Amino acid sequence: MNECYNGNGDEMNTLYEKLNTFLWSHPVYKKCIGFLTIALKYIIMAAYPCLLLGFYLQHDSYLIYAIIKPVVVFILVTLIRKYLNRSRPYDYLSVTPLIEHDKGCSFPSRHAASAFIIAFTGFHLDYYIGLLLLVMAVIIASTRVLSGLHHISDVVGGLLLSLVIELL
């Protein structure tokens, strides 16, 4: 099941194309979005083991959930992406991604889902850590769209999947 669009008459497609054109014609913005797209994923990846260490050092019983929930999100996202194999914006639009990426498997965004479940986990350790991670997750989700790698619905799907797993 591969969701492809021809891009004719769709306002969202026009938005993606305009954003992409804007970024490619403004090198400073393009570099900032590209930097944030790459850097924040590594920062949030580094934050996750720090959270686990924090739960461990506090002898917090949430530690097991802090391990299981992100694993569940990662597995579910991977399975859904493989099954749906949704096209990415650059697969069918006049959009050049800021970062090279494989085609297809766009929905839901694994980066967004992972960032949001890690942020939700952070709230269980400390409100301010969770809030900081949540801000980073929103920026990660935004940069995935701005860089042409995902549709808005991809990152919203990642957020909602993480939220559902968090609430279980």
* DSSP per-residue codes, 73-100: HHHHHHHHHHHH-PPPHHHHSS---SS-
pLDDT of the residue at 106? 84
pLDDT of the residue at 130? 97
The per-residue pLDDT for range 114-136, each reduced to its tens digit, is 999 999 999 999 999 999 999 99
Whether pTM > 0.85 for this model: the answer is: yes
pLDDT of the residue at 41? 92
- How much is the mean pLDDT over the chain? 89
Go through 114-148 and write b for each residue having 16 or more CB atoms within 10 A of its CB, e for each that does not: bbbbbbbbbebbeeebbeebbebbbbbbbbbbbbb
Torsion of CA 83, 136, 167, 128, to 10 degrees: 170
